[in-house]
Amino acid sequence: MNYINRIKIIFQEVLTYYVIFISIFQIYRIALYHTYTNLFNDLDFFALIKILILGCRFDFSSTSVLLFIPIILLISPIPLTGHWIYRRFIASIIYIELAGLIVFLNSDYLYFNNVKRHITNELFFILKDLDYLISEISSNLFIFIIILFIILFSYRFYLNYLVSDKKNRQRSITGFILIVLLMILLGRGGFQLKPITVIDAYQYGSTNQGHLILNGFFTASHYSISTNFIVRDLKEEASYIETLELFSSNNSEFPLVKKHVESKHITFRNAVVIIVESLTPKYIDSLSGNNYGVTPNLDMLVNRGLVYNNFFANGQRSIEGAQAILTGIPPLPGIPDITVLPVNYSRLGNIAKANGYRTIYVTTTLRESFSLDLMVYAAGIEEYYGQEDYPILLNYIDDPERYLGWDYEAFMHLLNKLDDENKPYLAIVNPSSDHSPFVRMHEPFTRYEHGTNSEGGYLNMLHYTDWALGEFITKFSKRKDFHETVFIITGDHAFAHFQDGDPYNKFRIPLIVYSPGNIKPGKSKLFASQIDLMPSLINLLDLKGNYSSIGKNIFDSEKGYAIVKEGSLVNFFNSKGYLQHSLNRILDYKLLDNIHDESTLRDMEMLLTSYDHLTYLLLSNNRWKSQNVKN
């Protein structure tokens, strides 16, 4: 009886820790539900209870991962582990883990507002970018101070509750074995053949319900640490190529290789690609019909340029947009980005250099922010400049040394670098001043009430970005090579703050092709995405040589589609409608004619899975590009 009682006491001790951790996960889950009610308005009370119960499976898994080593140290069947001082020591270690989890879940809660999902592989880049991490904490400093105060204040009560007496306890070999086995079972999510994964959360209902079932620690731990491919259930490669109509290559081993074809359209000597942080059609009045009044220069470019109304980002992060544009490799769930991808792929910079071009990239941020330097150099860009490389020119009233930098200075630096340039050039500039946290601006960029994370703060910063862009275009128009240059203006990703749950608004970004006198103004309904910019730029500049990309040249395409990574999910957009997929099944869809058509859905799903599976197949087998192709 005494032996049974010892096992019971050990189970109660471990259970107490589990209850604390599970409660924390559930508190943040409920907070998400109440904060983002527009995303979860299809949930009634009973549906919410069901989600809380389903979420426990993922919470138990996360808790088991966090507590596995401390619990083993706590209940190992040796005399030391039963001593009350030792138990207090282990309890303190677990409290440090708990404190870290609370800080992380709070960060995930705040981040959810940006992308309407939990943190996934962003964690790797955030932890590497100390300046960004500090700025985000400082913009929510009051919240973090309160949380840290609660953590410090609660420690004594926590310790007294967990180790309330100074009595030693006996341990049990049987209890130890049973608990270890149970923790392994909970950690893998049950008795099923494969351990629980992020995708499992999306089998119970809508995408937003899946987001609510998950917790931020689970998604981050599954997507940030691993650089391995998530295995797909593959079919015949030929079927993917046929579905995607990729018949331009005669090389069956490298089916994405594209040969140079003389351009049918006007070509340019130079190109300037402007990738604006979080640029979203909603806030450009000429595209949305709204009256925010902060984009007069973008409105001018829209009216005088060729605009693609159905253009999409390929992901939700700047680094994903850069990868798609510079390398032609799409960001997809379970496929590492090119900074850790050991395969051959085409590099836009190398292709341009092989044609005698100067290649230059200017960003407003510090060079190493968001690991952008790794992406730029991996793409073969020769010259890369960040905030450290140019002086502040204007008198900014708030945080002039902010690590996100200033757009006007970046644009002027690019102009200076291109002075008296005789070689053709491919220049890329990444204005990011309108990234949160937003700083207080001087006149005339004060139209809206300022807030470091408010819509008004964003609009004021966008007004400044628009002005800086206008100054750049105005000064550039006086150059002798202005009419030999094509300007591509787009966004790195959409601005998800203050948006509803509409999938189009979450991912649609502008694309403006501007060259007065050369490009006829107009609007295109073609569905396309950032992955299509590399082949399109190669066409516009008539660059010679072979390259590999799954994207298309938008100037020679009559029909198209866009495929977008959303954390662990994939979204598909074309003229028929929208579809969201878990790579196992369809999670959500919306056909434009609002008529349920199984044939249309099946075609859309085949395009999506063919695109994803072919990308996976070629990258995982290093068949994206032949080693014999130099670029």
DSSP string, 499-568: --S-HHHHHB--EEEE-TTTSPPEEEEEEEEGGGHHHHHHHHTT--S-EE-S---GGG-SS--EEEEETT
Residue 598, class by beta-carbon neighbours within 10 Å (0-12 exposed, 13-18 middle, 19+ buried)? exposed
Is residue 229 included in any domain, yes or no?
Answer: no
pLDDT value for 229: 64
Tokens of 468: 């800086």
pLDDT computed for residue 628 by the predictor:
61
The predicted structure's pLDDT at residue 251 = 79
Whether the Cβ atoms of residue 405 and residue 364 lie closer than 8 Å to each other = yes
Q: What phi, psi does 247 have (nearest 5°)?
A: -110, 10
pLDDT of residue 560: 94
Map tokens 């508190």 to a residue. Answer: 27
pLDDT of 496:
79
Q: Are residues 30 and 99 located together in one domain of the fold?
A: yes
Residue 588 forms beta bridges with which residues?
A: 580
Same domain, 474 and 390: yes
Gap between the Cα atoms of 128 and 125, Å rounded:
5
Q: Is 392 helix (H, G, I), strand (E, B) or coil?
A: coil
CB 108 within 8 A of CB 28: yes
Q: For residue 30, what are the contacts with CB-CB under 8 A and spacing of at least 6?
A: 52
Based on the fold, state whether residues 199 and 96 are members of the same structural domain. Answer: yes
Q: What angle do CA 340, 112, 158 make, to 5 degrees?
A: 100
Full residue range of the structural domain in which residue 142 is found:
2-223
- The residues pairing with 529 across neighbouring beta strands, listed in sequence order, are 312
Residues 572 and 486 in one domain: yes
Residues 511, 381 share a domain = yes
CB 355 within 8 A of CB 543: yes
Alpha carbon of residue 2 to chain centroid: 55
In angstroms, the first-to-last Cα distance of the chain is: 75
Residues 271 and 214 in one domain: no
Give the CA dihedral 413, 417, 421, 425, nearest 10 degrees: -80
| Interatomic CA distance for residues 624 and 619, integer angstroms | 6
The distance between the two most distant Cα atoms of the chain, rounded to a whole number of Å, is 94
Within-domain flag for 627: no
Q: Which amino acid is at 314?
A: N
In this structure, is the dihedral angle defined by the CA atoms of residues 63, 66, 68 and 72, taken in order, positive or negative? Answer: negative
Q: For residues 55 and 49, give the distance between their C-alpha atoms in angstroms, rounded to a whole number.
A: 10
Read off the amino acid at residue 443.
Answer: E
Residue 2 CB partners (closer than 8 Å, separation 6+): none
Q: Residue 62 CB: number of other CB atoms within 10 A?
A: 25
DSSP assignment of 317-346, as one string? SHHHHHHHHHH-PPP-TTS--TTS--S---
Statement to judge: residues 201 and 87 lie in one domain: yes
Spatial separation of the C-alpha atoms in residues 411 and 53, rounded to whole Å: 52
Query: Do 7 and 130 fall within a single domain?
Result: yes
Is residue 630 in a domain? no
160 in a domain, yes or no? yes
Mode of pairing for the β-strands spanning 511-514 and 485-491? antiparallel
Regarding whether 419 and 545 lie in a shared domain, the answer is yes
* One domain, residues 204 and 338: no
Q: In what order do the strands lie in the sheet with 577-581?
A: 562-566, 569-574, 577-581, 586-591
381 contacts 428 by C-beta, under 8 angstroms: yes
512 CB burial (10 A radius; 0-12, 13-18, 19+): buried
Q: How far apart are CA 328 and CA 550, in angstroms?
A: 7
Report which secondary-structure segment, H or E, holds 458: helix 455-476
Q: What is the dihedral of CA 580, 126, 532, 430, to 10 degrees?
A: 140
Taking the C-alpha atoms of residue 266 and residue 260, their distance in angstroms, rounded to an integer, is 16
Average pLDDT for runs of 10 along the chain of length 631: 81 95 97 88 88 96 96 92 91 95 91 79 62 70 88 91 81 92 95 80 73 90 64 87 83 85 85 97 97 98 98 93 94 81 83 96 90 83 95 91 92 95 95 93 95 94 98 97 98 86 90 97 97 96 93 91 93 96 90 84 96 92 75 64
Give CA–CA dist 36/338, Å, rounded: 34
HSE-CB for 392 with a 13 A CA cutoff: 14
Cα separation of 491 and 503, whole Å?
17
Residues 218 and 271 occupy one common structural domain: no
In a domain, 62, yes or no: yes
Closest by Cα among 305, 64, 48 to 180: 64
Asked if omega into 391 is within 30° of 0 (cis), the reply is no
183 phi/psi in degrees, rounded to 5: -65, -40
| 268 HSE (CA, 13 A, CB side) | 25
Q: How far is C-alpha 516 from the chain's CA centre?
A: 34
Q: Is residue 164 part of a domain?
A: yes
Kindly state whether residue 387 falls inside one of the protein's structural domains.
Answer: yes
Domain containing residue 566: CATH number: 3.40.720.10
Give the bridge partners for 523, in sequence order.
Answer: 307
Is 109 a member of any domain? yes
Find the length of the chain.
Answer: 631
pLDDT value at residue 203? 63
For residue 287, what are the CA distances in angstroms to 228, 300, 523, 586? Answer: 40, 11, 10, 31
Total number of domains in the chain: 2
Contact 604/610 with Cβ under 8 angstroms? Answer: no
Distance between alpha carbon 358 and the CA centroid of its chain, in Å?
30
Q: Are residues 22 and 166 in the same domain?
A: yes
Dist. CA 267–CA 513, nearest whole Å: 13
